[in-house]
Structure formats: C-alpha cells, structure tokens
Amino acid sequence: MGEGLTVLGLESSCDDTAAAVVHHAEGQSPEILSSVVFGQAELHDAFGGVVPEIAARAHAEKLDVCAAEALKRADMRLGAADAIAVTAGPGLIGGVISGVMCAKGLAAGAGLPLVGVNHLAGHALTPRLTDGLDYPYLMLLVSGGHCQFLIVRGCNEFKRLGGTIDDAPGEAFDKVARLLGLPQPGGPAVEAEAARGDPERFSFPRPLLDRPGCDMSFSGLKTALLRARDEVMRRRGGLGTRDRADLCAGFQAAVREVMREKTRRALDAYFAEHPPQPALAVAGGVAANTPLREALKTLTEGLDTRFVAPPLPLCTDNAAMIAYAGIELFRAGHRDDMSLAARPRWPLDTAQAAMLGHGKKGAKA
C-alpha cells in the first residue's frame, strides 16, 4: 500500500452500518479508498424513530459484510491494513457493542492493532480529511443526535463551548415533519415546504437568545409549532397547503436565527482563544439545510473567517471519518486492546460536565 498508513474503519453507533478504508501518507492529502454505508431507515420507519434492539441486530448482521465490501472496493486484503479503527461510543449501546466486537474479532484474526474512536471526534476531524484544515478550528456539529460547538485543537484535544440542553436540531426537524404529516427524515421535507412558505406569518420563539453563552434549546420550538398547528386546525377545521408551508418556514427561520446568533457567540469565544486562525467547520445532517448553511457562510464572510462544510455523505454518519480519526490517533501513539469498552456516553471534553439528555438517536454526550 506504499508509504503512510492504511486503516479500516467501522461505524455502528446509530442507524447506519458503515465500513471504509482510508490511506494517508504524511504531507499528502488523505485518500478515501472506499466508503460503504448500509442505512437501516426502512427497518425503523414504522416506529417513528430508531429502535435500539432492531438497530443492534441489523448491525451485527451487516458489519462483516460491510467490512468485506469496503476491502473489496479498496482492492486490498485485511492483512494489508495497518490498523482497525472502530467507533467505541457514544451511541446506542447495542450497536456500539456490535461494532467493537466485530473490530476485535478482525484485529485478533489478522493480528492488527485496534484503535477505539469517539464518534464525535470522527465528525469533528472530518474537515481535516476533506479540506486539510489545520488545528485549531471551531466545529459546529448539528445532526439528529448531536448539537455542540467544539474548539478542535488536536485529535484528542477538544473544548466544548456549548450545545443543546434538550433536543438536537435534526430531531426537532423530524418531529415537526411528523406533526405536519410530512415524510421522514423530516429535515429535507421541512426545508422543501419552507421554501414555499411565509416565515413571518407565525412568530415562533427564539429559545435561549435572551441568555448569554452558546447553549441552545429546540424542544420549546417544537411545542410552539404544535400549538400554532392546533390553533389553525381549530379555526379552519384543517391544515391547508399554505398553512403547512408557512409553519415550516416560521420554524426553519427560528432555528436559523438561533443557530446564527449562537454561532456568532461561539466564534467570539473561539477568537478570544485563537485569534490568528479564524475557521468554522460544520458537520452533521442538519448542515445540509441550505438556508442555515447560507446564514453561516454569510456570517463567517463578514468576520473574515474560513468556512468549511464537507460534502454531505461525509457530514452524515460514515466510517471514513472513523478510519481517518483512527489514523490520527494511531500516529499519536494511541492503541487499544481486547479490553476496549463500548461506551453509551463519551464526552469529548472531559473537563466539563456532560450535556443532559438522550436524543432519539442516542446519547448527546
């Protein structure tokens, strides 16, 4: 495989079973040799959310198939890898255990080193994999399970500036879609409706904007939307196309405004610590939201700050980010053995108390 490191990564912390092979020679750009993702959406559809037991079983059934496919697409044998990296948390514990067990088996069988990776670190390091971003930078992680601002200083050095105190934003988009009879995942459906709606017709709250700092809250917003929907239905006896679009537009405008202002504050806090390196990166499925992305882009342009938004397949859950984080950790001398534990919670910033609550897709860490 030439100079450098080649790592097989496995990911199974939520509802995607994924395996990938990444190669990185120092001084060059990392290369994704393969990235395979088996989604489980159809298994959970009928339940309105991810069912942990179903997810764990599906991971256990698919992980080895996924790993074999990733190796095949990378055109290599397992023995040619330098290490195996696996998500060891945080997440739905049954899925994380499935991944860790599979990685241990592969590592023992092939006599390869094992590296346990924090799923959030995988997301947080993705801008280095995709855009070669240097440390330090500010990361906004926004998905169905996570929501936090992190100063990323090294592959094992993170400072959390704030995050959601209840729902993750993707979770709120999904719930809003359910309340309005739109399909799952809710984000793209709500965004499409919002594009046709009037964001001014309903005035939704801007939660926690009146409080200092960059913590966020999305659960009250969802309740406000429920009330507004019920009020329309009571008055008109049903929900029209126009009403649905206006509700989505009002909700999305509120999320965008809160995120933009909280990001501005997080950037202030980041600049206070790292003035010479202005960079903001986003990851997570909600980063696919065009109006939100545009708002963050405009904000950073006004502040002379580089803005990095990785391509969507690498913003959402995947194993290339785990393989890449594994490469950085391996290079830093990190090794695990057969005692590697699967962790439902695993905050990146251990100096601070963990955020409260569990998202529909697992622990918020």
- The H-assigned helical ranges of the chain are 41-44, 52-74, 93-110, 119-131, 169-179, 186-194, 219-236, 241-273, 290-302, 312-315, 320-331
Binds ligand KG4 by CB under 6 A, chosen from 361, 363, 364, 365: 361
Beta bridge partners of 118: 89
Contact characters 317-356, Zn ion, x per CB under 5 A: x---------------------------------------
Question: Is residue 215 a contact residue for Zn ion (CB under 5 A)?
Answer: no
Contact characters 211-240, ligand KG4, x per CB under 6 A: ------------------------------
Question: Is residue 171 a contact residue for Zn ion (CB under 5 A)?
Answer: no
CA dist., res. 142 & res. 150, Å (int): 11
Residue the block writes with tokens 């590296």: 115
Enumerate residues 72-91 that contact ligand KG4 by CB under 6 A: none
Question: Is residue 15 a contact residue for Zn ion (CB under 5 A)?
Answer: no
Contact characters 281-320, Zn ion, x per CB under 5 A: ------------------------------------x---
Question: Is residue 285 a contact residue for ligand KG4 (CB under 6 A)?
Answer: yes
Minimum distance from residue 289 beta carbon to ligand KG4 (Å): 3
Q: SS3 sequence, 255-317?
A: HHHHHHHHHHHHHHHHHHHCCCCCEEEEECHHHHCHHHHHHHHHHHHHCCCEEECCCHHHHCC
CA angle 261, 267, 268 (to 5 degrees): 95
3-state secondary structure of 331: helix
174 binds, among ligand KG4, Zn ion, none (CB under 5 to 8 A by kind): ligand KG4
Which residues in this chain contact Zn ion in the complex, by CB under 5 A?
317
Which residues in this chain contact ligand KG4 in the complex, by CB under 6 A?
14, 143-145, 170-171, 173-174, 185-188, 191, 284-286, 288-289, 316-317, 361
